[in-house]
Amino acid sequence: MKIVIDARMYGPRRWTGIGRYLQHLVAELEQLDTTNQYVVLVGRENWDDYVPGAPNFTKLLSPALPYSPGEQLQLAWQLARLRPDVVHFAAPNAPLLYLGRRVTTVHDLTLLMYSTARGEGFEKWLHDAKKLPFQMVLWRGARGSQALITPTEYVKRQLVQRYDVPPQRVTVTPEAMDEGQTPAGAEGADLIGALGLVAGNYILHVGNCYPYKNVDRLVEAFSEVVGTRAGVKLVLVGRDDYFRDLVRRKVAALKLGERVVFTGAVSDEELAQLYAQAALYVNPSLSEGFGLQGLEAMAAGVPVLAARASCLPEVYADAAEYFDPGSTAELVTKTAALLRDDKLRLTLTTRGLKRVTEFSWRAAAEATLAVYQAAGAGGVRIRKQQA
């Protein structure tokens, strides 16, 4: 069987979540499958990031940029010439004109429920207008794929309800954290001191600051927590952008000053060190497809406080403490309690270390390979990985 994987978003340098998903999936498939022939489509910007590691895997340049108008024609034409038995689109941005057998991974439907528009008025209208083509492509992917893959049951239920997709066409393949992630590294250690942090005395959040991420509420809650523990800080990790600037304004308005630290983008080694030295990791998000950062924190031995929302209770189970994401008061209470309750912290740390062992990229790849085989043969055999 000839399988094409659309890996134009391969690697975490730009596409973060989807990039890491592709990186791990392809690496595991190279070890699992020596029978089928794979063509991995890679873009110019990440061409050097992927080097085939098995003789039945080849890479091919795809000039079509992800989410560009050109991919609707260029990618469709390229796939038609390749004549694969099945194509795996790692995100729903597939060409509408391609009619061959396909497997589509839908990581989440968050952007259909929450706006990430920058500004108001015409800017917001223009942003919403640009979402219309994406909604059409997503509808086509959901309805036209032989099989769909989601990282959680939560996203699966959304797909089934929104697009009337038969449940048996959706396979859940939970994601996992990077193998061998450790808190070692002089680069990371230097960062802790450079940022003016004290090990074990800061709260950590990693990710974007889109409105649905609820970081504003985390900052508001922290403004009340600062008085409960001497010197405690809030560390926000992520690239600077329009939405992070809005959070900076909130920090300034609350006169938090140096008590909130914005790191900007950090390396993997620096991030591992930031996880390892944190007192607490908080995920206040209103909507996630998986919530990988919480698992990364657990793997570093850090207790996790998460919103009781979307997929987070499904993924973290009893290894996290939860709060109502609409209640600043409850977030304050739970944060303060976790900072002072050593027994609860130890319980969550122990459960977290156990929880992360229940996820693996190998299991995700095995389930994905089964989906390829079934989709290529004309049907989908359900194989759900238990989280």
* Same domain? 372 vs 333: no
In a domain, 207, yes or no: yes
Regarding predicted confidence, which is higher, 52 or 138? 52
> What confidence score (pLDDT) does residue 126 get?
64
In a domain, 384, yes or no: no
Residue 67's pLDDT band (cuts 50, 70, 90): confident
> What confidence score (pLDDT) does residue 133 get?
75
Domain tally for the chain?
A: 2
* Same domain? 98 vs 45: yes
The fraction of the chain above a pLDDT of 90, given in percent, is 78
> What confidence score (pLDDT) does residue 314 get?
98
In a domain, 76, yes or no: yes
* Same domain? 228 vs 172: no
* Same domain? 209 vs 151: no
Residue-range definition of the domain harbouring residue 224: 186-356
Q: Tell me what the mean pLDDT of segment 16-27 comes to.
A: 92
Q: Tell me what the mean pLDDT of segment 90-98 comes to.
A: 91
* Same domain? 240 vs 257: yes
CATH of the domain at 320: 3.40.50.2000
pTM of the model: 0.90
Closest CA to 308 of 332, 327, 335, 329: 327
* Same domain? 213 vs 313: yes
> What confidence score (pLDDT) does residue 116 get?
79
* Same domain? 150 vs 236: no
Report d(CA 143, CA 384) in Å as an integer: 20
Q: What are phi and psi of 149, to 5 degrees?
A: -120, 135
Q: Tell me what the mean pLDDT of segment 86-90 comes to.
A: 97
In a domain, 284, yes or no: yes
Q: Tell me what the mean pLDDT of segment 74-98 comes to.
A: 94
* Same domain? 238 vs 307: yes
* Same domain? 300 vs 372: no
Closest CA to 265 of 20, 48, 16, 22: 16
Q: Which residues of 205-239 are buried (b: 16+ CB within 10 A; e: fewer)?
A: bbbbbbebbbbbbbbebbbbbbeeeeebbbbbbbe
Contact present, 278 and 202 (Cβ < 8 Å): yes
* Same domain? 151 vs 49: yes
* Same domain? 274 vs 305: yes
* Same domain? 170 vs 53: yes
